[in-house]
Structure 1
Amino acid sequence: MPDLNLLVTLDVLLAEGSVAAAARRLCLSPSAMSRALARLRETTGDPLLVRAGRGLVPTPRAVELREQVSRLVQEATAVLRPVQSVDMAQVERTFTLRTSEEFVENVGPALLARIAKEAPGVRLRFINKTDKASVLLREGSVDLETGVVDPAASPEVLTQALFRDRLVGVVRSGHPLSQGEVTVERYASGQHVYVSRRGQARGQIDDVLETQGLTRQINTIVAGFATAIALARDTDLIASVPERYTVHQREGLHTFVLPLALPTFTVAMLWHPRLDADLAHRWLRGCLREVCALQRVQSPLP
């Protein structure tokens, strides 16, 4: 297979018309450049540069190659040069985002408006996130995910925080917990709907209640917060949901601070390193980060 590095050498030799000048330009010794010229002659089967008086002149084959070689070297250089910018207004591309329905409902409108303004050729495809496995990112069928980062997540996945959130309680208007102080005893004694994408029967709230000698009654287990809120709206069930990215689904319901010492949690975006330097993907990550930073929870809760 031909040594493609010889293309650069040939380009400089044909441009300079001198072994010594080409050697200086490529920071090579004259003898090294002479050896390179010998290899080029052997590879092309043509003398390329021949002596005429005190200088060298190109052969007809060299003249024929000069423009083609120059173009190839320029194109190869452009391919290997880092891309500095991308005109998103000209990009035609579909990004697949794996996230929760609640996240799409809360963040989606602002994100889509931003994309329509800056990159009308970009389309978002949202798919529901049912687990925390990173296999779809690794396979490339998903471009970006959002969610609470699992400490056991694959170390090859890159993450960046979007916002912090906390759990709050939600009940229908007129529910007993919509009146008076919500103590931990009143909260625990009610009937609850629990959200678990993995189908588990208990979670962090139950662990904290247990340390206080209390147990809550979980009547229903669902896979998403939107479903839990919908059930709380029309039943006596108590839903415990993220405050920030369920804000638009809790209209007409009573929301209260949980009477438990629960830590806040961070919602992040996740992507595979193969897309880290992709400028269009980097732009999308920037849009999502800025949209989340601009949104604020409109809540009277402390």
Structure 2
Amino acid sequence: MSPMNIADVDLNLLKVFEALHDESSASRAALRLNVTQSAVSAALRRLREVYSDQLFVRTGRGLAPTLRANQLKPVVSEALNKCRQSLAMVDPAGQHFDGRSVTLGLSDDFEIAYGRRLIEEIALRAPKLRLIFRQTHSQIVGQALLERSIDVAIAAGGFTERLLSRQVLGEGDYQCLVDPISLAEGQPMLSLEEFVAREHILVSSGGFIGITDEGLAAVGLSRRVCASTTHFAALPHLLKGSHAVATIPGHAARSIAALCGLTLLPCPLALPRYPIELGWRTHTAQDPLLLIVREAIVASFS
């Protein structure tokens, strides 16, 4: 096969590729691009010729990207965003955010506590921009940024790679959540003895040991974890009607307690505070859109 030259390629195909990768469906991609499904199918046939790869294969749940498609996606999206950025340079005072999106990596405790505020702050600064929340955490966030699966991230650290920049947003603590039916009337807190005696719900991205277990071990104690979950959002359903306790980051504990009728209590165990940081790829520091998004995130946390 002869080498492909960019002069031979209809660059509108890249918009179809991006839509197919995001939507995993030809019909949804067509809806997003305001074209017919047959036009999307024709573009996909041409894309397969250009990249000498299937790119997307049919599964029971739509179109799944191939390895090559996953490798191409961040490069294609970055190129399209550069094009959108160039159009905005013609009218710097204009607001050219319609059709653009920014992917924000964060764990669901931050999404629960700050998600609504982030949506509102970003909407003020970049109307019509779509914000995409994508789950991550401090152990994998650096790699996710470098692989371009997310644009910016909020995490409790994890931005140590050489090509990343970071900014401290604040400091976190830990609080306890319980069902009020399990407390005596007016009970202001759990004693350490009662805390240890209760069953515990652990929220962890993996593993059996949490920060609470480490804190208890330091004073010669241990607890019984009756269940663990990877989702903070599941806690109200797991705690209601029980005597169990969950010890989680304070920002999420306060939000969940306010919305779900659980009681927020101070943790009777001295646990270390932790940094809350904003991270991004250093070379995107001057991207006007990402600068707006970072400013909105800082404002949300202030």
Superposition TM-score tier, normalisation by shorter sequence: 0.5 to 0.7
Aligned-pair CA distance for 1:225 = 2.1
What is the identity, as a one-letter code, of the residue corresponding to 1:99? L
Question: What is the TM-score with the length of structure 2 in the denominator?
Answer: 0.63
Aligned-pair CA distance for 1:230 = 3.2
Q: Verify: 1:286 aligned to 2:289, yes or no.
A: no
What is the identity, as a one-letter code, of the residue corresponding to 1:231? L
- State how far apart, in whole Å, the 1-side matches of 2:104 and 2:184 are: 37
Q: Verify: 1:255 aligned to 2:264, yes or no.
A: yes
Picking from 257, 261, 268, the partner of 2:277 is: 268
Picking from 193, 199, 205, the partner of 1:191 is: 199
- State how far apart, in whole Å, the 2-side matches of 1:188 and 1:155 are: 42
Q: Deviations over 1:154-191 (max 9, x none)?
A: 23321111222211111001214773652211111110
- Change in 2 beyond 3 A, CA 1:233/1:132: same
Query: Partner residue of 1:150?
Result: 158
Unaligned runs of 5+ in 2: 1-88
- Change in 2 beyond 3 A, CA 1:177/1:289: farther
Write the mapping of 1:127-276 to structure 2, written as runs, cut at 5 A: 127-129=134-136, 132-133=139-140, 134-150=142-158, 153-176=160-183, 179=187, 181-198=189-206, 200-251=207-258, 252-276=261-285
- Change in 2 beyond 3 A, CA 1:276/1:177: farther
CA contact (8 A) 2:125 2:292 kept: no
Q: Deviations over 1:124-151 (max 9, x none)?
A: 1111226622222112221011110038
Q: Deviations over 1:210-242 (max 9, x none)?
A: 222211001111112222343122322210111
1:231 match: secondary structure: helix
CA contact (8 A) 1:184 1:260 kept: yes
CA contact (8 A) 1:172 1:254 kept: yes
Query: Partner residue of 1:99?
Result: 106
CA contact (8 A) 2:109 2:251 kept: no
1:146 match: secondary structure: strand
- Change in 2 beyond 3 A, CA 1:183/1:279: same
Query: Partner residue of 2:95?
Result: 89
- State how far apart, in whole Å, the 2-side matches of 1:181 and 1:286 are: 37
Query: Partner residue of 2:128?
Result: 121
CA contact (8 A) 1:170 1:240 kept: yes
CA contact (8 A) 1:89 1:118 kept: no
- State how far apart, in whole Å, the 2-side matches of 1:177 and 1:269 are: 40
Name the % identity. 23
What is the identity, as a one-letter code, of the residue corresponding to 1:270? G
Aligned-pair CA distance for 1:88 = 6.3
- State how far apart, in whole Å, the 2-side matches of 1:150 and 1:233 are: 33
CA contact (8 A) 2:174 2:249 kept: yes
What is the identity, as a one-letter code, of the residue corresponding to 2:96? Q
Q: Whose Rg is larger?
A: 1
- Change in 2 beyond 3 A, CA 1:180/1:273: closer
- Change in 2 beyond 3 A, CA 1:265/1:230: farther
Question: What is the TM-score with the length of structure 1 in the denominator?
Answer: 0.63
Aligned-pair CA distance for 1:116 = 2.5
1:226 match: secondary structure: helix
Count of aligned positions: 209
2:95 match: secondary structure: helix
1:250 match: secondary structure: helix
- State how far apart, in whole Å, the 1-side matches of 2:250 and 2:292 are: 27
Q: Which runs of 4+ in 1 moved over 6 A?
A: none
Unaligned runs of 5+ in 1: 1-82, 294-302
- State how far apart, in whole Å, the 2-side matches of 1:181 and 1:290 are: 32
